[in-house]
Amino acid sequence: MTVPLLTSLAAPDATDRPDALTVAGRSCSREELLGAAGAVASRVAGAASVAVRAEATPETVAAVVGALLAGVPVVPLPPDAGPAERAHILRDSGAELVLGETRGGRREVAVPVDLRERAAWSGPEPDPKATAFVLYTSGTTGAPKGAIIPRGAVAACLDGLADAWQWTAEDTLVHGLPLFHVHGLVLGVLGALRTGSRLVHTGRPTPEAYAAAGGSLYFGVPTVWSRVVRDHTAARALGGARLLVSGSAALPAPVFRDLEALTGQRPVERYGMTETLITVSTRADGERRQGSVGVPLPGVRTRVVAAEEGGIGELEVSGPTLFSGYLGRPEATAASYTADGWFRTGDIAAVDADGAHRIVGRASTDLIKSGGYRIGAGEVENALLDHPAVSEAAVVGVAHEDLGQEIVAYVVAEGVSEQALIDFVAAHLSVHKRPRRVRFLDALPRNAMGKPQKKLLPPL
């Protein structure tokens, strides 16, 4: 028999409690969650896939769990997605139902989710090869692609992390990350439901909320940790936690150092991608070295394709946590693998003599990481070009103390303000994809072939 993906829900027991799950201040027990999710499962059973408007609420968790119980692939929708991004995700995924909404659009059927409902779900556990999620993620150009994540990959990743972090039902996990990406949803929600740990989602990942939550295990993107260390009172309040985990982008050295000074413990860094889930992590009982993301999870293999042995090069990975391809894009899927079946991460890495991995950069500057979000330069450029006043656009990521990188747009445009263009992208795509600064040029620097030369853009 297949082991249930959400192990702790399979048999609610004596460890259940009224606040087993808290999201943005509202709590429920695992038994209540299972009842509400059961009602969702019976409504969506048989659908090819369902979209979930992924606001940080307990209803979102019930919607995701309900669809997973019924074996229906979940397509998380960023709640702030503008019309273009939302339409793309719904069209491209073919999701028929949108959970968590009460009003249907032209094509989709809205399905309400009610935490007070109770229904038992008795369907069989779906096959580990079945799709758990289709997660939309940006490439260097074009619209986001849907990464197909099998249930077995989720299970392998979460079991690997439970092993690496000694993560058990005794833990209380705290974070406030968005529920439409791997970090906040797969690790941050399903991880708690698989290990049986209590979950406190703080709604927003603010230092004050983290300090007040009293957890044993904390997740954050580097921007969250950089804000925590600026709030000394909040940082000191985390001193009693068992493990502070950072991921989704490189943790700056000063933030690592300040976290150790203020909390008395070094953070644990782990590395992953939407397409691979988490593949490499520092272990709770291993050495926590600044700049190191640790060792491969159980079953994961890595190799660095470098010019010389021990040198830096592109990181390639293989193993049970990998996606099964981009939805409807066989060429893009094929291009993401080497001929001998390794996934090309696009990240530049080095492996130390003791096997610890360091991520030192990205092969393409057109993939931007801002606040831990992955944003394709091409997608923002296309959005800007949709504005009638813009004739040319080039988007880059510029080093930024708080966000890691900030999105900066260089445009050729007539009669439009910087703020109007920022708001246009925020409304069209989603808020975190907006440029933080716009620079107006007479023309973009181009080479003899007419191709824009981002390296020749003037400094800010």
Q: How many residues does the chain have?
A: 460
Q: Which does 224 bind (CB under 5 to 8 A by kind): ligand MLC, ligand AMP, none?
A: ligand MLC
Q: Nearest distance from residue 358's CB to ligand AMP, in Å?
A: 9
Nearer to ligand MLC, 38 or 372 (CB): 372
H/E segment holding residue 131 = strand 131-137
Subset of residues 243 to 272 that bind ligand AMP, contact rule: CB under 6 A:
247-250, 269, 271-272
Q: Which of 369, 396, 370, 371 is nearest to 381 (CA)?
A: 396
Quote the tokens at residue 309: 């042995």
Quote the tokens at residue 32: 């209540």
What is the CA 14 to chain-centroid distance, rounded? 32
Instruction: Using DSSP bridges, classify how beta strands 172-175 and 145-150 pair: parallel, antiparallel or unpaired.
Output: unpaired
Nearer to ligand AMP, 258 or 269 (CB): 269
Q: Which does 111 bind (CB under 5 to 8 A by kind): ligand MLC, ligand AMP, none?
A: none
Residue from the set 182, 217, 235, 444 that interacts with ligand AMP by CB under 6 A: 182
Under the criterion CB under 6 A, does residue 294 sit at the interface with ligand AMP?
no
Residues at the interface with ligand MLC (CB under 6 A)? 80, 177-178, 181-184, 205, 221, 223-224, 247-248, 272-273, 371-373, 422-423, 426, 431-432, 434
- The count of residues interacting with ligand AMP (CB under 6 A) is 18
Beta strand residue intervals within 181-233, DSSP E? 198-201, 217-220
3 state SS of 183: helix
Nearer to ligand MLC, 145 or 181 (CB): 181
Nearer to ligand MLC, 271 or 410 (CB): 271
Nearer to ligand AMP, 172 or 292 (CB): 292
Nearest-angstrom CA–CA distance, 69 and 2: 13
Q: Which does 345 bind (CB under 5 to 8 A by kind): ligand MLC, ligand AMP, none?
A: ligand AMP
What is the CA 78 to chain-centroid distance, rounded? 11
Quote the tokens at residue 437: 């600064």
Nearer to ligand MLC, 29 or 290 (CB): 290
Subset of residues 122 to 141 that bind ligand AMP, contact rule: CB under 6 A:
137
Q: Are 292 and 282 in contact (CB under 8 A)?
A: yes
Residue from the set 303, 362, 439, 454 that interacts with ligand AMP by CB under 6 A: 362
Q: Which does 359 bind (CB under 5 to 8 A by kind): ligand MLC, ligand AMP, none?
A: ligand AMP
Residue from the set 374, 436, 439, 454 that interacts with ligand AMP by CB under 6 A: 374
Q: Which of 228, 296, 299, 224 is nearest to 259 (CA)?
A: 228
Q: How many CA atoms lie within 13 A of 445 on its CB side?
A: 8
Q: Are 457 and 392 in contact (CB under 8 A)?
A: no
Under the criterion CB under 6 A, does residue 202 sit at the interface with ligand AMP?
no
Cβ atoms within 10 A of the Cβ of 112, count?
A: 14
Under the criterion CB under 6 A, does residue 197 sit at the interface with ligand AMP?
no
Nearer to ligand MLC, 182 or 211 (CB): 182
Q: Which does 223 bind (CB under 5 to 8 A by kind): ligand MLC, ligand AMP, none?
A: ligand MLC
Query: Helices 30-44 & 58-69, crossing angle to 10 degrees?
Result: 60
Nearest-angstrom CA–CA distance, 88 and 228: 35
Nearer to ligand AMP, 5 or 278 (CB): 278
Q: Which does 205 bind (CB under 5 to 8 A by kind): ligand MLC, ligand AMP, none?
A: ligand MLC
Nearer to ligand AMP, 70 or 273 (CB): 273
Under the criterion CB under 6 A, does residue 293 sit at the interface with ligand AMP?
yes
Q: Nearest distance from residue 449's CB to ligand MLC, in Å?
A: 34
Which strands sit side by side in the sheet containing 109-111, from one edge to the other? 109-111, 97-99, 50-53, 74-77, 131-137, 145-150
Q: Which does 215 bind (CB under 5 to 8 A by kind): ligand MLC, ligand AMP, none?
A: none
Subset of residues 28 to 67 that bind ligand AMP, contact rule: CB under 6 A:
none
Nearest-angstrom CA–CA distance, 202 and 181: 16
Q: Which does 250 bind (CB under 5 to 8 A by kind): ligand AMP, ligand MLC, none?
A: ligand AMP
For residue 345, what are the contacts with CB-CB under 8 A and spacing of at least 6?
Answer: 273, 276, 314, 315, 316, 317
Beta strand residue intervals within 139-263, DSSP E? 145-150, 172-175, 198-201, 217-220, 243-246
Under the criterion CB under 6 A, does residue 406 sit at the interface with ligand AMP?
no
Q: Nearest distance from residue 4's CB to ligand AMP, in Å?
A: 26
Nearest-angstrom CA–CA distance, 246 and 249: 8
Helices and strands (DSSP H and E) totals, the chain: 13, 24
Per CB under 6 A, residues contacting ligand AMP are 137, 182, 247-250, 269, 271-274, 293, 345, 347, 359, 362, 369, 374
